[in-house]
Amino acid sequence: MTRFMEIDRENRSVEIGGTWLSRPLWGTGINPEAKFLMLRYAFETEAVIRVQIKSDARNLRSQRAIEALGAVREGVLRHQVILPDGFRRDSVYYSILAEEWPEVKRRLVTRISQGNHRPTPAPGP
C-alpha cells in the first residue's frame, strides 16, 4: 500500500508515502514502480512543483529506497511525531522538485526496464 497524502493545491505540492509492503514483496520492484506511477501523475498530470516523502529516522531501509528514487534528503525534524507507545519519532524529509523530475524519471525508467529493483543511491550533489 502507498498513497498520496498532504495534498496542497495552493502550493502545488503533495506528499507520497504511507507505504507498507509485506516482506515477500521487498526487492520485487513493486515499490519503485508504484512510486514512479505516482510521481509521474503528480508532476505530469497535476503539475505539482514539489513531491515530499518522509521516513522514520530509524528506518534505514526506507531511507535507502527513497534515496534510490532520486529524492534529495532535506533534513530531520526531531521529535516530530509522538507514537502510541509514547516514543518521540524523528522524521527524515526528502523531496523531488519539478525541475529534477526529468532526470529522476529517466533513472527510474531505466531501473525498472532493466529489472534493477535493488536500491542504488542517487548521485550526490
- Residue 73 in domain: yes
Element (H, E) at 104: helix 101-113
122: left (phi over 0), alpha (psi -120 to 50) or beta: beta
- Residue 77 in domain: yes
- Residue 66 in domain: yes
The residue range of the domain holding 41 is: 3-112
Asked if 50 and 61 touch (Cβ cutoff 8 Å), the reply is no
* pLDDT score of 72: 98
- Residue 124 in domain: no
* pLDDT score of 125: 47
Number of structural domains found in the chain: 1
34/122: higher pLDDT? 34
Pick from 5-9, 51-55, 78-82, 114-118: least confident: 114-118
- Residue 74 in domain: yes
Task: Report how far residue 125's alpha carbon sits from residue 115's, in angstroms, rounded to the nearest whole number.
Answer: 26
Provide the H-helix boundaries in 14-100: 30-40, 60-69
Q: What percent of the chain has pLDDT over 90?
A: 66
Please report, for the domain that includes residue 39, its CATH number: 3.40.630.30
- Residue 83 in domain: yes
- Residue 10 in domain: yes
Burial of 2 (0-12, 13-18, 19+ CB in 10 A): middle
Residue found by looking up cell 535507502 in the block: 64
Task: Report how far residue 37's alpha carbon sits from residue 51's, in angstroms, rounded to the nearest whole number.
Answer: 13
pLDDT in tens, 44-60: 999 999 999 999 999 99
Task: Report how far residue 4's alpha carbon sits from residue 18's, in angstroms, rounded to the nearest whole number.
Answer: 8
pLDDT in tens, 18-38: 777 767 766 667 788 889 999
- Residue 117 in domain: no
Q: Which of 8-22, 27-41, 59-73, 111-125: highest mean pLDDT?
A: 59-73
